[in-house]
Every structure is written in structure tokens, then in C-alpha cells.
């Protein structure tokens, strides 16, 4: 799918590619993801409330969950809650006493997410704050919250570099910062694409290139959400 212009007509080759990626995503999730009433209910409630269908895919949610467990994360910060689908995957990776703080700009989305998080039995672990992340983040820093072990950046894409700068301030040596949607159907490597979201992804990579405090890589992905990718950045480990 052309993430910069989803309405654009796809060529038959692109349609065949998307069908194959979707079929493989389904093949994997049918085998590796057991039935999960709380996650299914979260997606159903999100769709019923009219939220955009842009949550991470189930297989990507599992990846976030595994990253948090591999990392032994006790504290997680998420930017962009949407309906709470990735929030649930991440919060389930926390050990007893672990905490997840998630930020959502849209109060209607936040209301749906809150109900989904309660239904998943995670309300005790998760705090959801409503409002623009660029206002919430300085407040978190002033409150002395953090450093967070894992930070997942999945809010509006034009501000990714600003979010990453705040993520660094709220990190320690060894924190892991995961940033979603940075390849954008290849627009990342197309300087002619003036979409502010693609520009956000390119500015982010320029920032990473000049940032001695992180070691990072970006991995391209295909699947039911089309062609995109995510960045892993380890803090305090010069590349
Ligand atoms: C969009 C946002 C996302 O976080 C995502 O994973 C896919 C698409 C969007 O805003 O279009
Ligand atoms: Mg995303």
C-alpha cells in the first residue's frame, strides 16, 4: 500500500504483493498467536468506535512484547496509545511491579483504550495520559518520571525527531527506543516526497546519524499493514 496516499490506485503487481504479505501474516498469526479474547475485543471495540485501523499488526504486537521481555523492561513509555492494542501487548511483558505510561492526544481514542486496558486486566499497571505528547513529555521530565527501560514511539509521524529527543532525555544507558512507521512504503529514501510524515522519518534518520549516544538500525517490514518499517535504538552504546 502507498502509505503516503492510501487512495492511490495500486498496480496489479502491488495488489498481488499485498495479498501475499497479508496471507503470510495470517499464516504466522494463526500458528504463533493463540486465540486472545482481550486483544480481539480491543480491536473490535476500536473499530466499533470508528478509530482508524492503524494499530500495529498482531505479529508486530507480539514482537513488541518479546522485545520488552528480552530486554527485561520494568518501565515502559508509549507515545500514541490509539485503542490500546500495542499497550496491551507491551504491558503483558512487564514483571510484577512493572509500569507502563502511555500518551494519547485524542480523548475519544483514550476513552476506548481505557476500556480495552481494563478489559485486559491491566489497569493497575497502565497509566494513560491524554493530551499532546510534546506537552506531556516535559511534564514527565519535571515530575522526575523515568528513566524508562523501553520507549515505543508510535504517535504522529511529523514529530518523530522531537519525540525521539524527549525519549533520549527520559532514557538511561541501556534503554531501548522503538520507533514505528519510519519506512513509509519507501518514501524514507525518496527526498522528492514532501509528505511531512516522510520528512519526519528522514529528519529522524539524520538525527540518528549525528547522535553519538545511540546505536540504531531500521528494519523494513511487509505484512497486512503494507510496506513500512521500524527503528531500534539502544541508548548509551555508540555505534
Ligand atoms: C499510521 C499510523 C501508524 O502508527 C501506523 O502504524 C500506520 C499508519 C497513520 O497515521 O496513517
Ligand atoms: Mg504505528
Q: What is the pLDDT of residues 125-155, one digit of tens each?
A: 999 999 999 999 999 999 999 999 999 999 9
Q: In the predicted model, is pLDDT for residue 238 greater than 80?
A: no
Q: pLDDT value at position 144?
A: 95
Task: Say if ligand 1 is within 6 A of residue 78 CB.
Answer: no
Q: What is the mean pLDDT of residues 198-217?
A: 98
Q: In the predicted model, is pLDDT for residue 9 greater than 90?
A: no
Task: Say if ligand 1 is within 6 A of residue 87 CB.
Answer: no
Q: pLDDT value at position 7?
A: 46
Looking at all shown ligands, the one closest to residue 1's CA atom is: 1
How many Cα atoms sit within 13 Å of 97 on the Cβ side?
2
Q: In the predicted model, is pLDDT for residue 57 greater than 80?
A: yes
User: For residue 189, what are the CA distances in angstroms to 102, 153, 183, 198?
Assistant: 30, 20, 8, 9
Task: Say if ligand 1 is within 6 A of residue 180 CB.
Answer: yes
Distance (Å, whole) CA 64 – CA 58: 10
Ligand 1 atom showing the smallest separation from residue 6 Cα: 11
Q: pLDDT value at position 10?
A: 83
Q: In the predicted model, is pLDDT for residue 3 greater than 60?
A: no
Summarize pLDDT for 25-51 with one digit per residue, the tens.
Answer: 999 999 999 999 999 999 999 999 999
Of 1-15, 17-31, 52-66, 146-160, the least confident: 1-15
Summarize pLDDT for 71-115 with one digit per residue, the tens.
Answer: 999 999 999 999 999 999 999 999 999 999 999 999 999 999 999
Summarize pLDDT for 190-200 with one digit per residue, the tens.
Answer: 999 999 999 99
Taken in order 61, 63, 69, 73, the sign of the CA dihedral is negative
User: For residue 6, what are the CA distances in angstroms to 3, 9, 225?
Assistant: 5, 8, 11
Q: In the predicted model, is pLDDT for residue 8 greater than 60?
A: yes
User: For residue 87, what are the CA distances in angstroms to 15, 227, 228?
Assistant: 31, 22, 20
Q: pLDDT value at position 237?
A: 60
Q: pLDDT value at position 239?
A: 56
Distance from residue 106's CA to the centre of ligand 2 (Å): 15
Distance from residue 56's CA to the centre of ligand 2 (Å): 6
- pTM of model > 0.75: yes
Q: What is the mean pLDDT of residues 17-21?
A: 97
Distance from residue 79's CA to the centre of ligand 1 (Å): 12
Distance from residue 95's CA to the centre of ligand 1 (Å): 29
Amino acid at each position: 500500500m502507498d502509505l503516503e496516499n492510501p487512495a492511490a490506485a495500486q498496480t496489479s503487481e502491488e495488489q498481488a504483493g499485498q495479498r501475499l504479505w497479508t496471507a503470510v501474516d495470517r499464516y504466522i498469526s494463526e500458528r504463533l498467536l493463540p486465540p486472545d479474547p482481550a486483544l480481539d475485543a480491543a480491536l473490535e471495540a476500536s473499530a466499533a468506535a470508528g478509530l482508524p485501523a492503524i494499530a500495529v499488526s498482531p505479529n508486530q504486537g507480539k514482537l513488541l512484547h518479546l522485545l520488552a521481555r528480552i530486554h527485561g523492561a520494568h518501565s515502559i513509555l508509549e507515545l500514541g496509545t490509539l485503542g490500546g492494542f500495542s499497550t496491551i501487548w507491551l504491558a503483558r511483558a512487564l514483571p510484577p511491579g512493572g509500569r507502563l505510561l502511555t500518551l494519547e492526544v485524542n480523548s475519544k481514542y483514550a476513552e476506548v483504550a481505557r476500556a480495552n486496558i481494563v478489559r485486559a486486566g491491566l489497569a493497575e499497571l497502565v497509566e494513560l495520559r491524554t493530551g499532546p505528547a510534546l506537552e506531556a513529555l516535559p511534564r514527565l521530565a519535571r515530575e522526575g518520571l523515568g528513566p524508562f527501560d523501553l520507549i515505543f514511539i508510535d504517535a504522529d509521524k511529523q514529530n518523530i525527531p522531537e519525540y525521539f529527543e524527549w525519549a533520549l532525555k527520559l532514557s538511561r544507558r541501556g534503554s531501548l527506543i522503538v520507533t514505528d512507521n519510519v519506512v513509509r512504503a519507501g518514501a524514507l529514501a525518496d527526498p522528492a516526497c514532501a509528505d511531512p510524515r516522510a520528512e519526519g522519518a528522514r529528519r529522524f534518520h539524520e538525527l540518528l546519524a549525528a547522535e553519538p549516544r545511540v546505536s540504531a538500525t531500521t528494519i523494513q517490514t511487509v505484512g497486512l499493514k503494507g510496506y513500512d518499517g521500524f527503528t531500534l535504538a539502544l541508548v548509551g552504546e555508540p555505534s
